[in-house]
Chains A and B, each alone.
Chain A
Amino acid sequence: MTTILNFLKPYKLLCFFTLLVMFVDVAGSLLIPTIMAKMIDAGIEGKDVSYMIQSGKIMLIVAIISGLSALLGSYLAATLSSKLGRDMRKAIYGKSLEFSSYDFERFGTGSMITRTMNDVNIVQQSAVWLIQMVLPVPAVCVSGVVMAFIIDASMGFLLIGAIVAIMSLSVFITRKASLIFDMLQKFLDKMNVLLRENISGVRVIRAFNKEKYEEKRMRKSFEDYAESAIRANRLFAALESFALFAVNFLFVIILWLGGNRIGIGLMEIGDIVALAQYVAIISFYIMMAQMVMIMMPRAIICVRRILEPLSRTPEIKDGNMSLDTSMEPTEEVVSFQKVSFRFADADENVLENLNFKCKKGETTAIIGGTGSGKSTIAKLILRFHDATSGAILLKGKDIKNLTQRELREHVSYVPQKVWLFSGAIADNLTHGSEPADEYRIKRALSAAQAEFVYDLPDGIYSRVSQGGANFSGGQKQRLSIARALSKKADMYIFDDSFSALDFKTDAALRKALAEETKDAAVLIISQRINAIINADQIVVLEEGKIVGIGNHDFLTKNCRVYQDIAKSQMAGQPFEGG
């Protein structure tokens, strides 16, 4: 909860005024029946018309002040809600940018989206409801009781008793409701899961003739849900009926006791009307607060979900040194020195004791099966993860001592999972720098064999939809390569980047690549031997260990694992026509 208060801190004044105007509104709500009661008394005592008009004027003023306060209160509360939501969303997103891949995957993309959007929404709503509907309750109760005491002490005590009774019942019902709502949520999730299974598995279900069985399974989940929903609805119905009766019951007591007080001249007849109104107003506020309180457990869960990413300490810290650019350019761009890596929650190393160097003008390839740790190597160089032991040097400096920004300025990367941002193709290739350097873009596109871009109606300004969904796999891969090439770097990393290209394009691309990257080190990660056959140096990985290093000819002769891979790929070569 403290973090939510932190988010409210900048708006202390706003909170204060919101509460203030709401209290004014509450005071007005109680004053109006008071004035009216006095008018009744005056009427039956036979006072004159001018008194009525006078009272009417006061009532009008009270109504206006309290009404405008309420409107202002709505505006202030809406402002507070929007600012709160905005700040929380920015904070979560800002924080996510500091996360390493490992940090981020603790939550996952789907969950992070939910946290940023839905959870914040619920919290911002609840915070405002809390301020608007729950915080005025004490004020209403206290002022109601005070006014009752002004009328008559016995009525004051009666009101206190009533408030205590209604409140304790509310607390009881809120508890019970939150249990039912928990169950309801569980049944709702179950219903969702089953339905989703039934839709995604429609072919399997039909292939196995399981339609009837699935219907039964779903029917059961619908019934469970309906049963809980009915219980929840009935609880609300009971609550409403009770509130209705409680107010009326109190009125009866007021009539009885009040009648006696009037009998001894301690109260006026109008006071009964006023008191009845106080009771109605107080119970209305308590009921509203109760509805909000029923939602609170859900909001608290959301708060927790928001806090989790916000309170996580990013795994990777920036260093404070920078590369000495005046130094003689070294031949070794990147070197791995006894590098081992394991995930924080794992027992086994993903990579173990890696030693190799990537030199300027040379191509290094990494080959191995899935799960051999190939892609992790790229992520270590970019510091998406930090090596558990050993050191990775960029031009002689340990990358942990550099800022991430500087490190990444020197490395260009084509990730295994191609992702293009929505917007123009050019936007994707300029990396946020404006204006777009058309020469550089053209050069990168032509090297990446992505000239198809010029055939599009808007050329390099054609639209890319989210993720690049409007392009084929091969086109996306080429655009992703062009993006990497349009960035000047000392090291280019291609993680399984040629898999969707046909033979001819692949060959042309490689030729162009050699030209583009001749002053840099190149690292190619692949599962397929024919993708790396010409590399200057091939690192063969198995279960995170280097089991061979050398060129193709050397490995073909001397490395058993490499021979196995070669054999299996000849027999199991993907065979796709077309």
Chain B
Amino acid sequence: MSDYNDNVDIVSSDSDFEIPINARQTIKKLWRSVGDQRGRLTAVLLSVFVYVLLSMISPMYSAYIVDRLWMDVKEAAEHGAIFRISLDACGRDILFLLLIYAVTAAFYTLQSFLMAGFAEKLNLRLRTEISEKLNKLPLSYFDRTKTGDILSRLINDLDKTSEVLQTGALKFFISIGLIAGSLVMMLRLSVALTIIFLIFMALALAATKFVSAKTLRFSKLRQQRVSEATAQVEEAYTGRVVIKAFNLEDNSYKNMSQAMDALADAHLKAEFFINAINPAIRLINRFGQVFIAVLAGNMLIEGRLSAGMFQAFLQYLNQASEPFTEAAYMINSIQAALASLERIYDMLEEEEISPEPASPSVINRAFGSVEFQNVRFGYTPDNILMRNVVFAVEPGQKVAIVGSTGAGKTTLINLLMRFYELNGGKILLDGIDIKTMTRSNLRDNLGMVLQDTWLFDGTVAENIAYGKPEASKEEIIAAAKAARADFFIRAMSNGYDTVLTNDSENISIGQRQLLTIARAFLRDPALIILDEATSSVDTRTEIEIGRAMKELMKNRTSFVIAHRLSTIIDADLILLMQNGNIIEQGTHKTLLKAKGAYADLYYSQFA
């Protein structure tokens, strides 16, 4: 069910409203991640400085042109002549203004381009760091973290950060410059008019604050209703057979309608406040403009202001008022981005698996003896599952692990693969403590076929060759034949080149299992770990899987999580597990003779 939830990107997620816990720390870490891009950032800031400077000059200069134009026209009129613009008459000034504009635009482009690369490169760096981190995290991290959470950190969180960095942060720098510069210029033009402007700006800010509080509230409400409706839709679609079988359609439609009505109601409110903010602020700004226009008009009459200056004042006013109102929203999104980054850094700081030994023992190809010595283990230290597991396996022996769900069968395998670290005791391979080996050396000796068959996006051949990418086509086919998979692979549309996806429908569960067996064959490990299928596989495939597994176990020490009586009876060692511990061990015969738990189990089911 989590599969499609991961992709849900409706409207806004909760994280849009988050506030970082420790913003300063996060910014410090961010600065470190910026690393070699600091030069680029400096260039951006310089460019912003020039841009702002030019933005301050151009209105003043255009005011000068307008006024000069007016003077020249008036003067020409007084002499009864017709004024025409030529290079000498205003023309040169106008062309110079064009040049200023061109340079302004050039700097704007420069800083945007630099910033576009900056944010994505930072993302690339963080994503790469996380992907490397993923391989250093202990498996317990994956046990307690949902796939969707990791995905959303790596993809959504970082995308949001990038957006904020390149538009938000850039605009932030520019805004500060523009507001400061414009205010200075406005004050120079007219203190009175600037004060009026500031009064109305304050009103606009108050309005923004009011509306954004509402927006926040209703956006949260909408988000909640979206989740509720999604849950209901998910439930109804998944259970549709039951709805139909029990004639519950009308009832279900009624419930769904209620959820949709509730969602529509919240959507209306949220959407209104989101949309209303701009018109509301515009309205307030225009009130301000009315006052300014009337006052400035009078100043014109009195000759205290020229037409050009009037126009220049209006331009500065526009340059300053826009960033002012954007500020409130920008602060929200910057906070949310910092919160996203904080989660990324949390992940990067998760505890890692223990480092490899400095001078590791090496086993090139194990003979295959395995010994568990007083093994003690719990997935969390305060909840010890295995108390004292002891057993020994000779090279080439077949071990059947038996027990109910949750008895600890998979745990035993996890420990042998060193997916988890022990809380006590030792595991020996060929008499060597596996802790003194590197993990990769240990795992090179162990092959594994799990029930949870994992295939990746790629061809059948690539999937089989996963553990041995250099394998030739012949080797791959030989492995498939040994795994009894060659037959159905050939029947596929593109044979060995057929593309599979992890949840592809073009291949059955049984066939997926055969492919993973082929994968293990190709790798030819010294020891093999198998998990017999319990999921529904048709009888024929089941027999094929059984044969393939048997073939794979030949001449190797093998551990089988056994569900089939035939496998168990053949085993050289049966480990009967309960609540994490081995409660009986021996062969089928000796265990039956012992008349303990194994015998009880056997007779209750088969006799």
Contacts and interface: CB of A to CB of B under 8 A. Distances in A.
B457 A81 contact: no
B472 interface: no
The 7 closest A-B pairs by CB, nearest first: A578-B404, A43-B300, A237-B112, A67-B283, A263-B83, A70-B279, A233-B116
Given A229-B120, A230-B120, A86 B300 contact: no
B564 to A, nearest CB: 5
A258 B251 CA distance: 70
B76 A419 contact: no
B98 interface: yes
A270 interface: yes
A203 interface: yes
B419 A200 contact: no
A437 to B, nearest CB: 15
Interface string A118-150: 100100100010001000000000000000000
Given A55-B294, A255-B69, A574 B310 contact: no
A78 B275 contact: yes
A413 interface: yes
A85 B265 CA distance: 11
B243 A97 contact: yes
A49 B298 contact: yes
A252 B101 CA distance: 9
Interface string B132-156: 1011000100100001001100110
Contacts of B279: 25, 67, 70-71, 73-74
Given A197-B457, A210-B466, A256-B85, A218 B131 contact: yes
Interface-centre pick from B121, B282, B297, B564 (highest chain A CB count, 10 A): B297
Given A73-B279, A370-B536, A101 B565 contact: no
A82 B271 contact: yes
B17 to A, nearest CB: 18
Interface residues of B, number: 169
Interface stretch (B178-186, B439-447, B481-489): B439-447
Given A196-B502, A238-B109, A256-B91, A207 B446 contact: yes
Main secondary structure of the interface of A (DSSP, over half): helix
Interface stretch (B190-198, B254-262, B327-335, B355-363): B254-262
A3 B401 CA distance: 60
Interface string A15-48: 0000000000100000010011001101110111
Interface in B272-326: 272, 275-276, 278-280, 282-283, 286-287, 289-291, 293-294, 296-301, 305-307, 310-311, 314
B431 interface: no
Contacts of A260: 83-85
A171 interface: no
B253 interface: yes
Interface stretch (B35-43, B223-231, B341-349, B389-397): B223-231
A52 B290 CA distance: 10
A244 interface: yes
Contacts of A315: none
A241 B109 contact: yes
A438 interface: no
Contact of B311 (A97, A237, A273, A570): A273
Interface-centre pick from B283, B407, B597 (highest chain A CB count, 10 A): B283
Interface stretch (B8-16, B23-31, B491-499, B549-557): B8-16
A98 to B, nearest CB: 9
Interface stretch (B234-242, B367-375, B379-387, B422-430): B234-242
Contacts of A263: 73, 76, 82-85
A573 B565 CA distance: 6
A357 interface: no
A55 B297 contact: yes
A466 B120 contact: no
Nearest to A419: B239
Contact of B116 (A85, A237, A577): A237
A237 B174 CA distance: 14
A214 B235 contact: no
A81 B282 CA distance: 23
A413 B105 contact: no
A114 B289 contact: no
A209 interface: yes
Interface in A87-119: 89-90, 93-94, 96-97, 101, 104, 109-110, 112-114, 116-118
Contact of A206 (B162, B248, B443, B447): B443
Given A384-B244, A408-B247, A576-B405, A113 B233 contact: yes
A19 to B, nearest CB: 15
Contacts of B1: 466-467
Contacts of A209: 439-440, 443-444
Nearest to B279: A70
17 contacts: A43-B298, A52-B298, A67-B282, A78-B271, A90-B257, A110-B4, A124-B267, A203-B139, A203-B417, A209-B440, A252-B97, A252-B101, A265-B77, A272-B311, A467-B238, A575-B601, A578-B405
Given A195-B155, A415-B242, A577-B598, 11 more contacts: A32-B286, A53-B294, A113-B4, A118-B9, A197-B457, A245-B102, A249-B98, A252-B101, A276-B311, A408-B245, A578-B578
B594 interface: no
Contact of A40 (B121, B291, B311): B311
Nearest to A213: B469
Given A90-B260, A208-B466, A43 B276 contact: no
Interface stretch (A186-194, A317-325, A327-335): A186-194
Contacts of A245: 101-102, 104-105
B11 A244 contact: no
Given A215-B132, A466-B235, A577-B402, A201 B456 contact: yes
Contact of B538 (A196, A197, A369, A573): A369
A472 to B, nearest CB: 10
B402 A71 contact: no
A215 B131 contact: yes
Nearest to B269: A78
B402 to A, nearest CB: 6
Nearest to A199: B147
Interface in A59-80: 59-60, 63-64, 66-68, 70-71, 73-75, 77-79
Contacts of A570: 606
A5 interface: no
Interface in B17-73: 58, 62, 65-66, 69-70, 73
B283 A70 contact: yes
A83 interface: yes
A74 B275 contact: yes
A46 B301 contact: yes
B118 to A, nearest CB: 9
A578 B306 CA distance: 95
Nearest to A527: B536
A207 B443 contact: yes
B129 to A, nearest CB: 10
Contact of A113 (B82, B128, B230, B540): B230
A467 B240 CA distance: 12
Contacts of A432: 246, 248, 250-251
Contacts of B58: 248
Nearest to A496: B536
A262 interface: yes
Contacts of A372: 538
Contacts of B564: 571-575
Nearest to B291: A56
Contact of B226 (A117, A195, A222): A117
Contacts of A512: none
B450 interface: yes
B576 interface: yes
B286 A85 contact: no
